[in-house]
């Protein structure tokens, strides 16, 4: 399924739910988390509705590679200090026991001075 009408992140992609955008292109979107745990906390998502990493296929390798290689650049853009003194954390929850609450694949990118609310 490329779009799920009940999915909040699909609604964010469509602009039906507002978000503070960090980055956008044809395939992906990055926006600030509504309940940040860290001074910098945004989410990177594919625009296509992929429920979690469990549904990825070989065809998604380039997309996932682009997301992962873009994350460090966006982290710096959003105020993370450079590696190694600064840095950032990536987190991707998958499934109920993996702690996933929104079932549209997303990578959390977190950073900034500690302490953080969580993690
Ligand atoms: P998960 O637990 O699924 O890995 O994380 C879902 C994340 O989405 C949470 O950190 C939560 O704060 C964020 N979130 C949930 N609903 C919205 C929303 O409507 N807008 C934004 N910007 N973030 C959301
Ligand atoms: Zn979705």
What's the predicted TM-score (pTM) here?
A: 0.98
> Residue 17: CB within 6 Å of ligand 1?
yes
Angle at 92 between CA 87 and CA 98, to 5 degrees: 135
Taking all residues of the chain, what is their mean pLDDT, rounded to a whole number? 97
Question: 54: buried, middle or exposed (CB in 10 Å: 19+, 13-18, 0-12)?
Answer: exposed
> Residue 61: CB within 6 Å of ligand 1?
no
Q: How far is the CA of 65 from the centre of ligand 1 (A)?
A: 22
Kindly list the domain boundaries of the chain, sorted by start residue.
8-111
Q: Residue 114 has which token pair?
A: 């500690």
Residue pLDDT, tens place only, 53-103: 999 999 999 999 999 999 999 999 999 999 999 999 999 999 999 999 999
Is residue 107's pLDDT more than 90?
A: yes
Domain over 8-111 is classified CATH 3.40.190.10: no
């Amino acid at each position: 399924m490329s779009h799920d009408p009940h999915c909040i992140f699909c609604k964010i992609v469509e602009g039906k739910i507002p978000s503070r955008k960090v980055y956008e292109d044809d395939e992906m979107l990055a926006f600030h988390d509504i309940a940040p745990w860290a001074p910098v906390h945004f989410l990177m998502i594919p625009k296509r509705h992929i429920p979690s990493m469990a549904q990825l296929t070989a065809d998604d390798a380039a997309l996932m590679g682009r997301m992962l290689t873009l994350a460090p650049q966006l982290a710096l853009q959003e105020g993370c200090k450079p590696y190694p003194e600064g840095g950032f954390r990536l987190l991707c929850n998958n499934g109920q026991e993996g702690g996933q609450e929104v079932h549209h694949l997303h990578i959390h990118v977190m950073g900034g001075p500690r302490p953080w609310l969580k993690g």
